[in-house]
Amino acid sequence: MKGAGKKAGRAAVKARGGADAAVASPTATDTSAAGMGLACRGVTFSYEEGREAVPAVRDVGFELAAGGSLALLGASGAGKSTLLQLVRGLDEPEAGAVVLDGVKPGGERYAALRREIGLVFQIPELQLFAASAREDVAFGPRRLRWSDERVKEAVSAALELVGLPEEKFGDRHPYALSGGEQRRLALAGVLAMKPRLLLLDEPFVSLDPGTRRQLAGILGRLKGAGVTIILATHDVDLAWALCDDVLVLSAGEVAASGAWEFDAAARDLLVRNRLREPQLVELWRRLGRDLATAPRTAAEAAEALA
Amino acid sequence: MTAPLLDISGLHYRYPGARSDALADLDLSVHEGEFVAVVGANGSGKSTLARLLGGLDRPAAARRAGACGHDLLTGDGRLAARRDVGVLFQNPENQLVAEHVEEDIAFGLENLGWPSADIRRRVDEMLARFDLKDLRRREPHLLSGGQKQRAALAGVLAIPRRAIVLDEPTAMLDPAGRADVLAAVAALRVEGLAVVYITQEMDEVVGADTVVGLEGGSEVYAGGVDDLFADGELVRRLNLGLPVAAEVAQELARRGRPLPALPLTLDALLAGLSERS
């Protein structure tokens, strides 16, 4: 995590893959052949407020390799949701560009790449609308004009992946599902389109801890399967458990990006941005242990402490 | 001991057309200055409880359903309860109604007919308390999720309350915003409000006087925080989790290195580890 415009601090905590990736089998899903590479270059966007233009993101630049996982952190209002929407292509940047797999905006190839990006909105279950779980998940693939057979397969695989097997849940009305099941159904709707780049906007909000664990497990499996992931979240503990890299947005600008770091400067930067260090990292620091070995999960911590 | 501000016994509620109760035979008593946390899986009845306590829905039946001395079984009682019991819902979008943040905070006070000078003073106080001064003229739809939640909380608390029910108030907040809300809630408790705090954040349960666990609309636990987290079977059944410190301790125990007591905070975990070594 390099502070923007500053010299690099101490050696970064080496990425070792989140714990949920460790329990996941990379062959558990065929959601994606390979992840998509992403580069944002000078991405800038403003909202209009009355007659004023309020900058939402400004000159945002970062790269994420295919199969990488990035935690997008920042205070409320820092521009996380806006940035995800720009990457997805729901808004066009005023300046700068979102480069996908090395392809610049414009042209047929870029449009095709854009269709391989999935965005899971905040509280995505509000957008469930069909009369059955199966139909809801099929909506996206159909819009991509896939063959009936391909749609059927994709729907079945996506439902399976989120733990709502089609035999049991396919005919159920989305509103007859629990809140946690609805969230997973909404995720299935995005996964059915086999995104190579998956963007998630606060996916854990309002979920009970058990459902959160399930969802973290699903994301771990997708990561293991090579899907590129950007996770916008306030939950620094889950961000640390799941993502190899981190990007901190501050009032729409990149405050830091790269591998996680937890030296004093990095810690200050987190606090200045209304964040905090993950609890397991705090534990390691207070135990006087080498932060380069800080555990990602409670199990890793216990393994080292036992 | 004084009578509880929230005094519920044998309460039932069923949504129109539903085949079973959303809440069944619920008991709850919360005194002045008491902090009761409510936990349970998605769909266990937590938000339904929030609406009933705030006088927004009519209980189907109850032996007792008192809120700040008002009877929630009568229409007049529910109306009176709405003034004394503040309710902050999960989704702040539905609670922001005015054109600007400060108008929104003033909204409830205007309805109560407060003099405008008092309203202005109270609104300024709330803007400062919830770090909203710079956003006072902003339109609610331009706020981020966390900012909306802070504005909604400021609006609920602008009206002086005797009890407050918070339904996952920190769900959309950044860690600092979360700390702000928790500090505000702690202050309310000191001021003597009865606090019912619905949450999915296990770390936020730790400071509660009592925890109530709901499962499918029934109360399956009411007791201390330590005993709840020590009951692994119940924690699993309610789809709960453990605070991070307790999770580490549990993993240590699994590896044959148990700590003397289950720690719920990092401080307690560090103390347990140093005691062991």
- CB pair distance less than 8 Å for A209 and B200: yes
DSSP for B68-126 reads TTEETTSHHHHHHHHHHEEEE-S-GGGG--SSSHHHHHHHHHHHTT--HHHHHHHHHHH
Rounded (10°) CA dihedral B205, B207, B209, B211: 10
What pLDDT, on the 0 to 100 scale, is given for residue A14? 34
Radius of gyration of chain B measured on its C-alpha atoms: 20
Beta bridge partners of A55: A46
Write the residue in A49, A77, A123 that is nearest to B144 by C-beta: A77
- pLDDT-derived band at A17 (thresholds 50, 70, 90) equals very low
Contacts of residue B248 in chain A, CB cutoff 8 Å? 280, 283, 298, 301-302, 305
B contact set with A (CB within 8 A): 40-43, 90-91, 138-139, 142-147, 168, 171-178, 200, 202, 236, 239-241, 244-245, 247-248, 250-252, 254-257, 266, 269-270, 273
Would you say residue B221 has pLDDT above 90?
yes
Rounded (10°) CA dihedral B67, B69, B72, B74: -170
- CB pair distance less than 8 Å for A305 and B139: no
Would you say residue B94 has pLDDT above 90?
no
What pLDDT, on the 0 to 100 scale, is given for residue B60? 95
Distance between CA A89 and CA A106 in Å, rounded?
A: 12
Would you say residue A33 has pLDDT above 80?
no
Question: B173 — alpha (psi -120 to 50), left (phi > 0) or beta?
Answer: beta
Write the residue in A47, A81, A210 that is nearest to B240 by C-beta: A210
Give me chain B's average pLDDT, please: 92
What pLDDT, on the 0 to 100 scale, is given for residue B149? 78
- CB pair distance less than 8 Å for A298 and B247: yes
What pLDDT, on the 0 to 100 scale, is given for residue B145? 65
What pLDDT, on the 0 to 100 scale, is given for residue B1? 62
Tens-digit pLDDT profile for residues A179-206: 888 999 999 999 999 999 999 999 998 8
| 3-class DSSP assignment, residue B186 | helix
What pLDDT, on the 0 to 100 scale, is given for residue A31? 42
- CB pair distance less than 8 Å for A302 and B143: no
A&B contacts, CB < 8 Å:
127
- CB pair distance less than 8 Å for A274 and B273: no
- pLDDT-derived band at B231 (thresholds 50, 70, 90) equals very high
> Is B68 in contact with B241 (CB distance < 8 Å)?
no
> Is A177 in contact with A162 (CB distance < 8 Å)?
no
Would you say residue A16 has pLDDT above 60?
no
- CB pair distance less than 8 Å for A208 and B200: yes
CA neighbours closer than 13 Å in the CB half-sphere of residue B15: 9
- CB pair distance less than 8 Å for B42 and A298: no
Eight-state DSSP code of residue B61: B
- CB pair distance less than 8 Å for B40 and A205: no
- CB pair distance less than 8 Å for B251 and A301: yes
CA distances, A115 to each of A91, A176, A203, B205 (Å)? 14, 30, 21, 42
Phi, psi for A75 (deg, rounded to 5): -60, 165
For tokens 């309860």, name the residue.
B81
Average pLDDT over residues A134-140: 95
What pLDDT, on the 0 to 100 scale, is given for residue A18? 39
- pLDDT-derived band at B54 (thresholds 50, 70, 90) equals very high
Average pLDDT over residues A224-241: 96
Would you say residue A275 has pLDDT above 70?
yes
Contacts of residue A207 in chain B, CB cutoff 8 Å? 42, 200
Distance between CA A190 and CA A178 in Å, rounded?
A: 19
Would you say residue A48 has pLDDT above 90?
no
Write the residue in B42, B202, B266 that is nearest to A179 by C-beta: B42
What pLDDT, on the 0 to 100 scale, is given for residue A12? 37
Percentage of chain B beyond pLDDT 70 is 99
The amino acid sitting at B264 is L
Average pLDDT over residues B75-97: 88
Would you say residue B135 has pLDDT above 90?
yes
- CB pair distance less than 8 Å for A75 and B176: yes
* Three-class SS of chain A: CEECCCCCCCCCCCCCCCHHHHHCCHHHCCCCCCCCCEEEEEEEEEEEECCEEEEEEEEEEEEECCCCEEEEEECCCCCHHHHHHHHHCCCCCCEEEEEECCECCCCHHHHHHHCCEEEECCCHHHHCCCCCHHHHHHHHHHHCCCCHHHHHHHHHHHHHHCCCCHHHHCCCCHHHCCHHHHHHHHHHHHHCCCCCEEEEECCCCCCCHHHHHHHHHHHHHHHHCCCEEEEECCCHHHHHHHCCEEEEEECCEEEEEEECCCCHHHHHHHHHCCCCCCHHHHHHHHCCCCHHHCCCCHHHHHHHHC
A57-71, A156-170, B170-184: segment of lowest average pLDDT: B170-184
- pLDDT-derived band at B144 (thresholds 50, 70, 90) equals confident
| CA neighbor of A298 nearest in space, from A238, A246, A255, A251 | A238
Distance of alpha carbon A80 from the chain centroid: 11
- pLDDT-derived band at A4 (thresholds 50, 70, 90) equals low
- Please name the residue of chain B whose CA is at the shortest distance from the CA of residue A76: B146
Domain A8-35+67-78+109-243+260-275 has CATH 3.40.50.300: yes
Would you say residue A6 has pLDDT above 70?
no
Distance between CA A64 and CA A37 in Å, rounded?
A: 6
- Please name the residue of chain B whose CA is at the shortest distance from the CA of residue A251: B144
What pLDDT, on the 0 to 100 scale, is given for residue A77? 81
Write the residue in A49, A76, A208 that is nearest to B174 by C-beta: A76
Q: Which residues contact A283 (CB under 8 A, 6 or more apart)?
A: A301, B244, B245, B248, B266, B269, B270
- Which candidate in A184, A206, A280 is best for mutational testing of the B interface (most B CBs within 10 A)? A206
Edge-to-edge strands, sheet with B23-30? B70-71, B64-67, B6-13, B23-30, B218-223, B210-215, B35-40, B194-198, B163-167, B85-88
- Please name the residue of chain B whose CA is at the shortest distance from the CA of residue A210: B239
- CB pair distance less than 8 Å for B266 and A301: no
Tens-digit pLDDT profile for residues A83-131: 999 999 999 999 999 999 999 999 999 999 999 999 999 888 888 889 9
Residue ranges of domains in chain A: 8-35+67-78+109-243+260-275
- CB pair distance less than 8 Å for A211 and B255: no
- Please name the residue of chain A whose CA is at the shortest distance from the CA of residue B147: A76
- Please name the residue of chain B whose CA is at the shortest distance from the CA of residue A176: B43
- CB pair distance less than 8 Å for B41 and A282: no
Secondary element (H or E) of residue B210: strand B210-215
A119-133, A158-172, A239-253, A280-294: segment of lowest average pLDDT: A119-133
A27-41, A50-64, B94-108, B165-179: segment of lowest average pLDDT: A27-41
Give me chain A's average pLDDT, please: 88
